[in-house]
């Protein structure tokens, strides 16, 4: 079949879906491209929702992946506010949830992303309990932070992960009181381990954030629909006028599961299982972005990566694979964060238990350093904090798999490039 007779359907209009549509056209695909998303906004990027946009420093218009006119100009048929509720793999159709319209596909990309996990405790239905995933959530939260700041109000954040900490920083900039409740012993424990998590705890304490580690929320106390306080499992009560549940996200695999596609096991983060070409257990269906679990030979594991760069690169890779191009999706996982005056990038994968030492190059006390997670002399991951233009050499070191001299690794005078060979 020639390209022009083919229909490629993309379900999910986040960064992965929008970049896949862009790539299909950039690669010269001349068939129909249909992009379907349950959100009403045009595809947008989420990182500003907990940073510049939440702080009122970035305009709403700046978050969109493409300007609205781009879709018509590139002949991408956009269906916004439309949920796909069924895939029929035999008929090769997807179904619109509201009116049952069937859309036929030759190739299908699932880029359905992830959704915030909900707290399962009394009081979560109160109006002052928030989540942060969508533009509308950020708009609402922005108003809440501004009014907490004005009234000396108190925000309690459940979860000291990336989103919890970024919102804590924004809330402090608005002047709100902030308490973070985290069951693990340090912030970001499952990514950074105990050694580096404390750098973030100290950063936030220095800006007036209170932490309670090793405890869980048991109840959100309210009156007349308003939040008054939260209770934790150590018997304490903490004042609260609003609560942000930032306890992670779950991949939106429901459609794929119902269609009988293979799902990765939870030990690997769940998600739709794809191969190195981002192809699911059905060769005509691909998956990319937060929802996809892909094999990464470099770490001899399967990974689901909930980060911007994975959507930015995974969407285009899936589009090329849909076009039959030969490729292996094997990028080193990468993400970034900005909190107060700290900017950080992290490359690699080194969960607690996978490394035997952390090597610091620079001054962790001054928050200007690179941390390396090392196992048997090999660098598994590197995090540069307020040090820039080192992502490539760090990723080269990780890819090379060479054993490095850890004294040289710690020495800022030894160029990183010289260690990778
Ligand atoms: C507040 C916030 C801040 C972040 N900050 C950073 C950061 O600083 N650095 C970083 O590296 N990463 C960050 N991330 C993560 C990054 O934004 C995500 O990894 C990225 O958005 C994933 O893109 P995606 O396209 O895979 O999924 P999504 O962006 O989730 O898009 C999926 C879309 O599909 C839609 N959808 C799902 N199911 C259906 C269906 N059945 N029918 C129709 N539509 C459907 C969803 O509603 C959604 O619009 C942040 C995320 C959030 C929420």
Q: Pick the residue whose CA is nearest to atom 33 on ligand 1.
A: 12
Confidence of residue 69 (pLDDT cuts 50, 70, 90): very high
Show the tokens assigned to 250. 């779950």
Q: Indicate which atom in ligand 1 lies nearest the CA of residue 291.
A: 26
Confidence label for 302 from pLDDT (cuts 50, 70 and 90):
very high
Closest CA to 398 of 415, 413, 412, 378: 378
d(CA 351, ligand 1 centre) in Å: 22
Average pLDDT over residues 204-221: 98
**What is the C-alpha to C-alpha distance for residues 223 and 290, in angstroms, rounded to an integer?**
37
Residue 1 pLDDT > 70: no
The token pair at 414 is 């030894």
* Closest CA to ligand 1's atom 35: 12
Q: Which two tokens stand for residue 179?
A: 């308490």
Cβ-contact 231, 132 below 8 angstroms: no
Residues 38, 338 contacting (CB under 8 angstroms) = no
Domains and CATH numbers, the chain: 7-115+250-322 (3.50.50.60), 129-247 (3.50.50.60), 341-419 (3.30.390.30)
Residue 51 pLDDT grade (very low, low, confident, very high; cuts 50, 70, 90): very high
Q: Are 211 and 205 in contact (CB under 8 A)?
A: yes
Atom of ligand 1 nearest to the CA of 132: 1
What predicted TM-score, i.e. pTM, was given to this entire model?
Answer: 0.97
Ligand 1 binding pocket (C-beta < 6 A) is: 11-17, 36-39, 46-47, 49-50, 83-84, 111-114, 132-133, 163, 252, 255, 289-290, 306-309, 311, 335-337
Strands ordered across the beta sheet of 301-304: 272-273, 292-296, 301-304
Question: How many angstroms separate the Cα of 204 from the Cα of each of 149, 199, 212?
Answer: 17, 9, 13
412 C-alpha to ligand 1 centroid (Å):
36
User: Cα(249) to centroid of ligand 1, in Å?
Assistant: 10
Q: Give me the pLDDT at residue 29, please.
A: 98
Tell me the per-residue pLDDT of 335-368, one tens digit each, with 9 for 90 and over: 999 999 999 999 999 998 999 999 999 999 999 9
pLDDT 10s digits, 76-91: 999 999 999 999 999 9
Task: Choose the residue to mutate in 19, 113, 286 for probing ligand 1, maximizing ligand atoms within 8 Å of C-beta.
Answer: 113
- What is the average per-residue pLDDT within 143-166? 98
- Examine the pLDDT at 267 and tell me if it is beyond 90: no
Which atom of ligand 1 has the smallest separation from the CA of 85?
41
Query: What's residue 3's pLDDT?
Result: 82
Residue whose Cα lies nearest atom 15 of ligand 1: it is 307
Give residue 213 CA to ligand 1 midpoint distance, Å: 28
- pLDDT of amino acid 329: 98
Q: Does the pLDDT value for residue 315 go beyond 80?
A: yes
- % pLDDT > 90, the chain: 96
Q: In the chain, pLDDT over 70 holds for what percent of residues?
A: 100
Ligand 1 centroid distance, CA of 195 (Å) = 29
* 156-222-167 Cα angle (round to 5): 20
For the cut 70, the answer to whether the pLDDT of residue 2 exceeds it is no
Of the residues 13, 14, 303, which should be mutated to test ligand 1's pocket, given the most ligand atoms within 8 Å of the CB? 14
31: left (phi over 0), alpha (psi -120 to 50) or beta: beta
Query: DSSP letter at 6?
Result: -
Average pLDDT of the chain?
A: 97
pLDDT category at 225 given cuts 50, 70, 90 is confident
Average pLDDT over every residue of 100-124? 98
pLDDT for the residue 421: 74
Mean pLDDT (whole number) for 67-74:
98
How many Å lie between the centroid of ligand 1 and the Cα of residue 16?
8
What separation in Å is there between the alpha carbon of 305 and the centre of ligand 1? Answer: 11
CB 68 within 8 A of CB 186: no
């Amino acid at each position: 079949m020639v390209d022009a007779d083919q229909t490629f359907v993309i379900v999910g209009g986040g960064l992965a879906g929008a970049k896949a549509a862009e790539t299909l056209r950039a690669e010269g695909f001349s068939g129909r491209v249909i992009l379907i998303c349950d959100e009403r906004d045009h595809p947008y990027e989420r990182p500003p929702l907990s940073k510049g946009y939440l702080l009122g420093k970035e305009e709403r218009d700046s978050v969109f992946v493409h300007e609205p006119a781009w879709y018509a100009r590139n002949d991408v048929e956009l269906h916004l506010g439309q949920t796909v509720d069924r895939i029929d793999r035999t008929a090769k159709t997807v179904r619109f949830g509201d009116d049952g319209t069937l859309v036929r596909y030759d190739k299908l990309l699932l880029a359905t992303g992830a959704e915030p996990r909900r707290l399962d405790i009394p009081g979560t239905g109160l109006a002052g309990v928030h989540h942060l995933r969508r533009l509308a959530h950020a708009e609402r939260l922005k108003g809440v932070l501004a009014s907490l700041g004005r009234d000396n109000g108190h925000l309690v954040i459940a979860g000291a992960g990336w989103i919890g900490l970024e919102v804590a920083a924004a809330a402090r900039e608005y002047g709100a009181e902030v308490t973070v409740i985290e069951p693990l012993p340090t912030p970001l424990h499952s990514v950074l381990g105990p050694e580096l998590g404390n750098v973030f705890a100290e950063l936030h304490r220095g800006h007036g954030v209170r932490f309670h580690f090793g405890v869980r929320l048991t109840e959100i106390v309210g009156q007349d629909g308003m939040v008054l306080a939260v209770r934790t499992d150590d018997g304490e009560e903490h004042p609260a006028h609003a609560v942000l549940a930032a306890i992670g996200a779950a991949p939106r695999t429901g459609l794929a599961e119902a269609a009988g596609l293979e799902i990765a096991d939870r030990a690997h983060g769940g998600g739709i299982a794809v191969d190195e070409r981002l192809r699911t257990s059905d060769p005509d269906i691909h998956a990319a972005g937060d929802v996809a679990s892909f094999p990464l030979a470099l770490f001899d594991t399967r990974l689901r990566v909930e980060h911007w760069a994975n959507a930015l690169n995974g969407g285009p890779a899936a589009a090329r694979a849909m076009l039959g191009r030969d490729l292996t999706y094997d990028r080193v996982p990468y993400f970034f964060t900005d909190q107060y005056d700290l900017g950080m990038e992290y490359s690699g994968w080194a969960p607690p238990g996978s490394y035997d030492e952390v090597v610091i190059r620079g001054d962790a006390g001054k928050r200007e350093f690179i941390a390396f997670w090392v196992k048997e002399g090999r660098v598994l991951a590197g995090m540069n904090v307020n040090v820039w233009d080192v992502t490539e050499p760090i990723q080269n070191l990780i890819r090379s798999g060479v054993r490095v001299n850890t004294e040289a690794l710690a020495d800022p005078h030894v160029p990183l490039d010289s260690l990778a060979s």
